[in-house]
């Protein structure tokens, strides 16, 4: 098969524009999704039955339905309730909601992986529930959850391709359009795939470094647990 | 009648079908060192954990210096749980598994609760932490991470963490049981210092030698009840009940085997 090299040059600006939108959407979705995930994780563990019920329902609904269906629902149903948003914003919301359900489960597993005695010793010295969480439990959760959170982030970035179905001009949509103009699927989708790969590889590398930084002072610690959670997380997909 | 320093009144606790505490009452005077002994599962750890409401009793009351700890009902109001936290800060607790905080170095382990709970500033907390770490013999380990410490050092760090809160009562739940035999001594010597300083202590232990030497009183529990209590001499040499006799015999047999 002959490669048409000029396509790489001629259409690079168009494709990069799509990539730029993907990047913006994904960054927004993650910036919303991780805090929401933390909130849901704490909510699910909460003693307040109502909060726990709401968080659990949210997580289970978004974890157990296809993302593409969620996207359609957000896109077609929200306007009925007077919420008219552009496709990009709908995409961000859908991606954040979907991601947060997974983030929540990862964070919850991470909190549960911290030995029970840690919370007890914090409570026994007079810390409130929230002080114990903030000072003792969550910092230890962080090093446990970084690998599976990274994993989920990469998945989310790839899932963002589905937003092309609701007319968001992100990377995949742009690729489809360029291929419609050029009839050169191989060149176009190689470009698209390379850009997804580059973005994910960059994130993975940064997170690996971050993880090492956190654990560098500690000989053992919960790093052994994290691979178990990672596996568990993959199995639940 | 003088006010009791610590008063436990009719404590009950059930875990499912198992009765961990059955109508346990105990009075403790200031400066008293009480050792709680008994076979495993007899409720001695539950008793200790009921004192600071880490395991809230189903029924019964805990009074410290004339104030009620926790609540008269088993559910806490917001006001009561605030008060409970301030009581807990005054009651240092030491666990069998140390439970030092692995994400903080030794100094920070002792500093953190001072800042968060006692609202001291950083400088003040650090000065205090350094002084206490020196007292427990860890002044050369202040920047060390808990994972790099031995069991004995971890337990001394845990004791230091509690002492930094200026406790008026220490609750120690088998503080030496998880330690290698050669590391027990260093923890006991820290505890000995506390005894000499007049700290009021409740200690769950199997170290009968230590208990007989430093205890003002020994409490023997079995089946969630206090079976016998008294001065160490009396409890260990002339046990009245059959259950205590059997317990002491078993301990002697195992120590012979060692």
Q: Name the residue with higher pLDDT: B47 or A219.
A: B47
For residues A232 and B5, what is the distance between their CA atoms, to the nearest angstrom?
50
In order of start, what are the domains of chain B with their CATH numbers? 6-101+168-257 (3.40.50.300)
Strand B169-173 relative to strand B200-204: parallel, antiparallel, unpaired?
parallel
Domain count across chain A: 1
DSSP structural state of residue A135: I
CB contacts, 8 Å: B90 with chain A:
126
CB contacts, 8 Å: A116 with chain B:
none
Interchain contact B162–A (C-beta under 8 A): yes
- Can you tell me the ipTM of this complex? 0.90
Given a contact cutoff of 8 angstroms between Cβ atoms, the answer to whether B223 and B42 are in contact is: yes
DSSP structural state of residue B76: P
Please give the average per-residue pLDDT across A68-90, as a whole number.
91
Please give the average per-residue pLDDT across A182-194, as a whole number.
93
Size of interface A-B (CB pairs under 8 A): 76
Interchain contact A121–B (C-beta under 8 A): yes
* H/E stretch holding B40: none
**Domain coverage including residue A177:** 5-235
Is B101's CB within 8 Å of A136's CB?
yes
Given a contact cutoff of 8 angstroms between Cβ atoms, the answer to whether A38 and A103 are in contact is: yes
C-alpha dihedral sign at A116, A122, A127, A132: negative
Residue B251's pLDDT is: 82
- Give strand ranges (E) for chain B: 6-15, 18-28, 33-37, 59-64, 67-69, 91-94, 169-173, 200-204, 217-222, 225-230
Among B99, B117, B158, whose Cβ lies nearest the Cβ of A126? B117
Q: For residue A141, give Cα distances in angstroms to A96, A99, A110, A135, B215.
A: 21, 19, 5, 11, 41
Helix axes A138-159, A223-235, angle to 10 degrees: 40
The two tokens of residue A79 are 């306007």
- Which region holds residue B14: left if phi is over 0, alpha if psi is between -120 and 50, else beta? beta
Interchain contact A123–B (C-beta under 8 A): yes
Interchain contact A139–B (C-beta under 8 A): yes
The alpha-carbon gap from A128 to the nearest alpha carbon of chain B, in Å, equals 7
- Three-state DSSP at A66 gives coil
For residues B163 and B25, what is the distance between their CA atoms, to the nearest angstrom?
27
Question: Quick check: A22 pLDDT over 90?
Answer: yes
Is B99's CB within 8 Å of A117's CB?
yes
Interchain contact B97–A (C-beta under 8 A): yes
How do the pLDDT tens digits run along chain B, 258 residues long? 456 899 999 999 999 999 999 999 999 999 999 999 999 888 999 999 999 999 999 999 999 998 889 887 767 888 888 899 999 999 999 999 999 999 999 999 999 999 999 999 999 999 999 999 999 999 999 999 999 999 999 999 999 999 999 999 999 999 999 999 889 999 999 999 999 999 999 999 988 888 999 999 999 999 999 999 999 999 998 999 999 999 998 887 665 544
**Where do the H-state alpha helices sit in B144-180?**
151-163
Question: Quick check: A237 pLDDT over 80?
Answer: no
For residues A107 and B18, what is the distance between their CA atoms, to the nearest angstrom?
34
Please give the average per-residue pLDDT across A1-6, as a whole number.
80
Question: Quick check: A226 pLDDT over 60?
Answer: no
CB contacts, 8 Å: A135 with chain B:
112, 116
- Three-state DSSP at B198 gives coil
For residue A148, the domain's CATH number is 1.10.3720.10
What DSSP line would sit under A171-225, residue for residue? HHHHHHHHHHHH--HHHHHHHHHHHHHHHHHHHHHHHHHHHHHHHTT-SSTTHHH
Closest CA to B170 of B152, B150, B192: B192
What DSSP line would sit under B98-128, residue for residue? ----TTS-HHHHHHHHHHHTS---HHHHHHH
């Amino acid at each position: 098969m002959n490669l048409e090299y000029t396509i790489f040059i001629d259409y690079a600006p168009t494709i990069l524009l799509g990539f730029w939108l993907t990047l913006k959407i994904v960054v927004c979705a993650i910036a919303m999704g991780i805090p929401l995930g933390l909130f849901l994780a704490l909510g699910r563990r909460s003693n307040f039955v109502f909060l726990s019920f709401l968080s659990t329902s949210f997580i289970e609904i978004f974890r157990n339905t296809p993302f593409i269906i969620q996207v359609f629902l957000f896109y077609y149903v929200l306007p009925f309730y007077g919420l008219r948003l552009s496709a990009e914003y709908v995409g961000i919301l859908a991606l954040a909601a979907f991601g947060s359900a997974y983030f929540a489960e990862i964070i919850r597993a991470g909190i549960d992986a911290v030995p029970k005695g840690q919370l007890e010793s914090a409570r026994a010295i007079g810390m409130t529930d929230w002080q114990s969480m903030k000072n003792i439990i969550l910092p230890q959760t962080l090093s446990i959850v970084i690998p599976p959170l990274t994993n989920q982030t990469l998945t989310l970035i790839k899932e963002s391709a589905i937003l092309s179905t609701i007319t968001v001009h992100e990377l995949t949509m742009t690729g489809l359009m360029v291929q419609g103009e050029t009839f050169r699927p191989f060149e176009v989708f190689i470009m698209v795939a390379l850009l997804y790969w580059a973005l994910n590889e960059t994130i993975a590398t940064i997170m690996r470094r971050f993880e090492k930084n956190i654990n560098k002072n500690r000989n053992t610690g919960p790093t052994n647990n994290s691979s178990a959670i990672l596996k568990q997380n993959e199995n639940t997909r | 009648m003088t006010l009791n320093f610590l008063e436990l009144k009719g404590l009950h606790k059930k875990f499912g079908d198992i009765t961990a505490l059955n109508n346990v009452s105990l009075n403790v005077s200031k400066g008293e060192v009480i050792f709680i002994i008994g076979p495993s599962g007899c409720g001695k750890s539950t008793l200790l954990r009921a004192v600071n409401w880490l395991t809230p009793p189903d029924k019964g009351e805990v009074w410290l210096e004339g104030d009620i700890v926790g609540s008269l009902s088993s559910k806490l109001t917001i006001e009561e749980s605030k008060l409970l936290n301030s009581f807990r800060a005054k009651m240092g607790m030491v666990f069998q598994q140390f439970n030092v905080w692995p994400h903080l170095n030794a100094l920070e382990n002792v500093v953190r609760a001072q800042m968060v709970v006692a609202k001291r500033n950083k400088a003040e907390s650090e000065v205090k932490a350094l002084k206490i770490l020196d007292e427990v013999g860890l002044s050369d380990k202040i920047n060390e991470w808990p994972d790099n410490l031995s069991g004995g050092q971890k337990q001394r760090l845990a004791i230091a963490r509690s002492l930094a809160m200026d406790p008026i009562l220490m609750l120690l739940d088998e503080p030496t049981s998880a330690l290698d035999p050669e590391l027990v001594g260093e923890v006991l010597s820290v505890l000995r210092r506390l005894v000499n300083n007049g700290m009021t202590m409740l200690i769950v232990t199997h170290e009968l030698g230590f208990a007989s030497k430093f205890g003002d009183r020994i409490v023997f529990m079995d089946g969630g009840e206090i079976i016998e209590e008294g001065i160490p001499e009396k409890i260990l040499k002339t046990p009245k009940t059959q259950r205590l006799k059997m317990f002491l015999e078993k301990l002697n047999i195992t120590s012979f085997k060692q």
